Amino acid sequence: MNVGPDQIPYRDFYRILLSTVAPRPIAWVSTLNQGRLNLAPFSFFNALSAKPPILGFSPSLRQVDGAIVPKDTLRNIRETGEFVVNVVTFALAEAMNLTSGEYDPSVDEFALAKLTTRPSQVVRPPQVAESPVSFECKLNRIIDFGIEPPSGSLVLGEIVCVHLEESVVKEGRLDPDLLDLIGRMGGMQYSRTTERFELKRPEVQPLRPKA
C-alpha cells in the first residue's frame, strides 16, 4: 500500500507518522515571560547539530474559541529568545503528562505538577529540578510551516549550558540505566529506554584515490 499525504484525512496520516517515527525523545520545555512560568512537553524533538550545539522541537498551532493561536511555549520564546529543555525520566512520566494539558497562560505548570524549579546559569527560564539533565538554550531561529492548525513551527535553540546531575553520572560518563529516559510512541503509548542492545559499526577501509 502506498499513501500520499493528500489522499487520506489528516488525522489518519498523522497517526501513521506518530506510530512509525518512534520512539521520539521528549523535550520538556520551560519558558518564562513577564514573570509567568510555563512548562510543556513536545515529542517532535531531537538534537540537530553538534557544532554549534542545536536542539530543535516543533510546537503546533491550536484553535481556541474559534481563533488560531500559538502555544504559550512558542509565544514566550518569540518574545524572550530563551528556553530550557529538560529530559523526561520514567519517574517523571506522570508529572510530564500532567503538564501537557491546554491550560490558560496564567496556569503555572510547575505548581500544577508539584515540581520544583532549579535556577539556570545563563538564561532566565528555570529548570525542572527533578530532571537530571537540562539544556539551557538561546533561540537560533524559528521556521514557520503554516498559518492554520495542524501546522506548526520548528524552534531551533543553541545550547549555552547543560546541567548534569551527579546521580546519573558513572565513572565520568552519563549512564543510560541511571537516566531511565522515556520516549513517545503513537496514541497514548510511551516507551522506556531500559532495554537496549549494541551494534558495532562496520570497519571500512578508506578509499584510495585512483592513480
Task: Please tell me the predicted confidence (pLDDT) of residue 107.
Answer: 95
Q: What predicted TM-score, i.e. pTM, was given to this entire model?
A: 0.93
27 pLDDT more than 70: yes
153-174 confidence digits (pLDDT tens): 999 999 999 999 999 999 999 9
211 pLDDT more than 90: no
Q: Which domains does the chain have, with CATH numbers?
A: 10-192 (2.30.110.10)
Tell me which residue of 25, 19, 64 sits closest to 42, measured CA to CA. Answer: 25
148 pLDDT more than 90: no
Q: pLDDT averaged over the chain?
A: 94
42 pLDDT more than 90: yes
For residue 52, is the peptide bond before it cis, meaning its omega torsion is within 30 degrees of 0?
yes
Tell me which residue of 21, 24, 60 sits closest to 40, measured CA to CA. Answer: 60
